[in-house]
Structures are given as C-alpha cells and as structure tokens.
Amino acid sequence: MSALRVHHIGYLVKKIEKAKQTFELLGYRTEQDVVYDDIRKIDICFMVMGDCRVELVSPVSEDSVVAGLIRKYKNSPYHICYETDNYEAAYAELTASGFLAIDTPTPAPALDGRKVVFLTSAAVGMIELIVPA
Ligand code: NI
C-alpha cells in the first residue's frame, strides 16, 4: 500500500460551537475556525492537539450529507482522513482491496478547495482521501 498519513479524524457534532468549546477545554486549539461547506451543507472546524487534528462536522440542514449519519451516531467520530504522496496508486490499491468509493472527488472548501473522496470498507467503515491539487 502506498504510504498514507493521517490528516484528520472527522467528528460528527450536533452543536459546533459547544463542541469547539469542549475540545478547547480538553486542550485542543482552533486551527481553522468554522467554515461553511455549501456542497455538503455542513459547518466544519479544525482543532489540533499535538499531531492530532480533529475535524468537527455539523449538519446545517436536513439535506446535509451527514444529516442521516448524525441521527444514527449522535456526537461521534465517523471517519479518518488520509493524505498520500501517490494518490492514484493509493486509490487503485484501496479499491482493489475491497474499499468502495461512495462519491467522486469533490472540492472541500475547508481544505482550500482541494478535492476529497470518501470510500467505505465493510471492516473499518468510512475513510476519506485527499486528492492532491
Ligand atoms: Ni474529513
């Protein structure tokens, strides 16, 4: 497998400001304040502690991509995002190993418009891959 590096842990939250305050209480600092992603209808905020980056994700409307997930999982981590120096090879290896793409590369406003793609595995659930610009 092409080397992957963890970029962030995606964390579903119902109330992003309260979640932000609570992560601050835990010792995280705000790396990037709340950004609205109008493609996915979510608010996003990046928090960091040491090498760990958490992406708070909160649905803004009922047609948000995560509206169904938050009903099921409540406030909870739900994906790990990876970056890699060799995206094409990593994507090919993941899909050959049983990961199914659940969307196509789509711009992520909270990541300076870089594209991301989500894949799912029966064994480990959802992952996200950053597509290099
Ligand atoms: Ni993410």
- Banded model confidence at residue 105, pLDDT cuts 50, 70, 90: very high
Q: Which residues hold their Cβ within 5 A of ligand 1, which is an ion?
A: 10, 55, 81, 128
Q: pLDDT at position 1, please?
A: 78
Round to whole Å and give the CA distance between 78 and 68: 12
Mean pLDDT confidence for 62-90: 95
Q: Could you tell me the distance, in angstroms and rounded to a whole number, from the CA of residue 12 to the centre of ligand 1?
A: 10
How many CB atoms are located within 10 Å of the residue 78 CB?
16
pLDDT in tens, 50-59: 999 999 999 9
Q: Could you tell me the distance, in angstroms and rounded to a whole number, from the CA of residue 70 to the centre of ligand 1?
A: 14
Q: Could you tell me the distance, in angstroms and rounded to a whole number, from the CA of residue 80 to the centre of ligand 1?
A: 7
What does pLDDT average to over the chain? 95
Upper half-sphere CA count for residue 93 (Cβ side, 13 Å): 11
Round to whole Å and give the CA distance between 20 and 2: 33
Round to whole Å and give the CA distance between 105 and 92: 14
pLDDT greater than 90 at residue 93: yes
Q: pLDDT at position 132, please?
A: 86
* DSSP tag of 91: H
End-to-end CA distance of the chain: 21
Q: Could you tell me the distance, in angstroms and rounded to a whole number, from the CA of residue 44 to the centre of ligand 1?
A: 9
Predicted TM-score of the model (pTM): 0.94
Joined together, the tokens standing for residue 55 give: 């992406």
pLDDT greater than 90 at residue 36: yes
